[in-house]
Amino acid sequence: NAGVTQTPKFQVLKTGQSMTLQCAQDMNHNSMYWYRQDPGMGLRLIYYSASEGTTDKGEVPNGYNVSRLNKREFSLRLESAAPSQTSVYFCASRRDRARTENQPQHFGDGTRLSIL
């Protein structure tokens, strides 16, 4: 079982460049999430998709866009990268259509992104 797969694992960009982070899950989960992890700040939600065809902003959406391409895939795009977007990005997915909050999210291994 692959679970949640993120690509690439590492990337270095120059300020102003664009990039798409890819995420795919093979667990037939309904909801998918993008977080960023910064030192001393835990994980913060960027965007989420409660189901195929829907996306919504999270806590820190500025500078990002997302696409829920199909049920399996949820991509995160940086249109014009800035040094403040240097971070580790995690994708997560969850099975239920939010009938209960008890089921955990399943996380990928992350993409470490540096912007110079």
- Compute the least distance from the CB of residue 11 to other proteins, in Å: 16
Token pair 């993008």 is found at 34
> Pairing mode, if any, of strands 10-13 and 111-115?
parallel
- Compute the least distance from the CB of residue 80 to other proteins, in Å: 27
Nearer to other proteins, 25 or 85 (CB): 25
- Compute the least distance from the CB of residue 23 to other proteins, in Å: 11
Instruction: Give the 3-state secondary structure of residue 45.
Output: strand
Nearer to other proteins, 3 or 63 (CB): 3
In the chain, what is the straight-line distance between the N-terminal and C-terminal CA atoms, in Å?
36
- Compute the least distance from the CB of residue 79 to other proteins, in Å: 24
CA distance 3 to 79: 28
What is the binding site for other proteins (CB under 8 A)? Answer: 4, 31, 40-45, 48, 50, 56, 90, 92, 94, 97-98, 100-105, 107-110
Q: Check the CA dihedral 12-15-19-23 and report its sign.
A: positive
Nearer to other proteins, 24 or 94 (CB): 94
